[in-house]
Amino acid sequence: MTIGFEVVAREGAARRGRLVTAHGAVETPVFMPVGTAATVKAMTAEGVAATGARLVLGNTYHLMLRPGAERIAALGGLHHFMNWPYAILTDSGGFQVMSLAKLRKIAEDGVTFRSHLDGSAHLLTPERSVEIQRLLGADVTMALDECTPYPSAPDTVERSMELSMRWAERSRRAFVERPGHGIFGIVQGGVHPDLRRHSATRLNEIGFDGYAVGGLAIGEGQATTFAVLDATVPALPAGRPRYLMGVGKPADLVGAVMRGIDMFDCVLPTRSGRTAQAFTRSGVVNLRNARHADDPAQLDPECCCPACTGYSRAYLHHLSRAGEILGSMLLTAHNLQYYGDLMAAMRAAIEAGTFAAFAAAFENEG
């Protein structure tokens, strides 16, 4: 294994850990801001770092299409290209191929598709996905998987999961070991506990640096997500990081940490920032509502972000109603700060042995 991970504190299934990469240590549980196309939308790299983030997500599908993995490699790799000195995890592109690409066809070799940008034809295999992520210089590479639509019949889910496991084995073989870099496998199996456990066992046999739970947050609901985690997480190696992909709302993060998840990503805080939705310690605030037009109060008095320390709710309301770019920038920074603060609070609570009380209080406040 070429990427380091240690669990430094536990409370129940919740873990306080440290992931060590070629570009520094990442304290877990951690939320990764989504920088799909080599940028976290409406943010500078310095602004992202100011929220406490030390790990961001990039995406194979988008970067292979534009500007191209070989071009980024020639320009010094993704870290240099986007001026991000800390760790990067790259999604394999599987989800985007299924959700964005045109005329896709899945076969044993990989998936052929036409770009949603210009219609050009491409073949993405496990080997090519891993190669692209190596060219980008990702600290954490993800194995290529098929994202099964929800809902699907159990036999369809099983066939899809088995294909993902064969692709996982090929992805692992294609990965080039180097210090501080690792590859994660992705558990699939829909909402079926037996398939999830089988997938986790197969990935453990292959042997990965970390294990992700994919194929959730696609309409199944929080209770079902948590039930899948209850069935899956105990089957994952205790000494490796666990990543829940594409999740989610603050309550989802707290519940998943309670079930032993260490890593998260989601577009929700950045997308919400661009639509005037702000996460605060007193709930979600829609800055477009007219009731904020004359409000001189801070957005969140306990927050240290620029939106909260320098501007009023009235000004943020004005920016959102006027369609000013600054509104998206300030609220995106705020939401990422909120998520970063939430993860830091969970880490502190696990260390102190008070996480159960923290989670109960968070649920009651929500």
In this structure, are residues 152 and 180 in contact, taking their beta carbons and an 8 Å threshold?
Answer: no
139 is catalytic: no
Say if residue 290 is in the same domain as residue 203: no
Structural domain ending residue among the three candidates 266, 284, 299: 266
Q: Are residues 279 and 244 in the same domain?
A: no
User: What CA–CA distances, in Å, run from 101 to 10, 61, 62, 255, 272?
Assistant: 42, 9, 10, 33, 24
The reported pLDDT for the residue numbered 366 is: 61
Residue 312: inside a domain: yes
Assigned domain for 261 exists: yes
The token pair at 216 is 């959730």
- Tens digit of each residue's pLDDT (9 = 90 or more) over 296-347: 999 999 999 999 999 999 999 999 999 999 999 999 999 999 999 999 999 9
Q: Is 184 helix (H, G, I), strand (E, B) or coil?
A: strand
Looking at the structure, tell me whether residues 304 and 169 fall in a common domain: no
Given the residues 145, 265, 300, 341, select the one marked as catalytic.
265
Amino acid at 136: L
pTM for the structure as a whole:
0.97
Q: Are residues 217 and 290 in the same domain?
A: no
If one counts the domains in the chain, the total is 2
User: What would the DSSP string read from start to end of 255-275?
Assistant: HHHHTT--EEE-SHHHHHHTT
Instruction: Indicate whether 299 and 247 sit together in one domain.
Output: no
Q: Final residue of a domain: which of 211, 239, 266?
A: 266
Tell me if 359 is assigned to some domain.
no
Same-domain status, 138 and 103: yes
Residue 251 is predicted with a pLDDT of 97
Whether residues 62 and 186 share a domain: the answer is yes
Answer whether residue 218 is part of any domain: yes
Residue 364 lies in a domain: no
Q: Which domain range does residue 300 map to?
A: 273-333
- Domain identity same for 289 and 325: yes
**Residue 307's pLDDT is what?**
98
Instruction: Identify the pLDDT of residue 75.
Output: 98
Position of tokens 């983030």? 53
**pLDDT at 98 (0 to 100):** 79
Catalytic residue from among 91, 209, 300, 341: 91
For the record, the structure tokens of 337 come out as 């700060």
- Asked if the structure places residue 352 within a domain, the reply is no
Q: Is residue 338 situated within a structural domain?
A: no
Residue 91 designated active-site: yes
Q: What is the dihedral of CA 364, 309, 46, 96, to 10 degrees?
A: 40
**CATH number, domain with residue 250:** 3.20.20.105
* Segments of the chain with pLDDT less than 50: none
Is residue 25 one of the residues assigned to a domain?
yes
Same structural domain for residues 177 and 212?
yes
Residues 101 and 239 occupy one common structural domain: yes
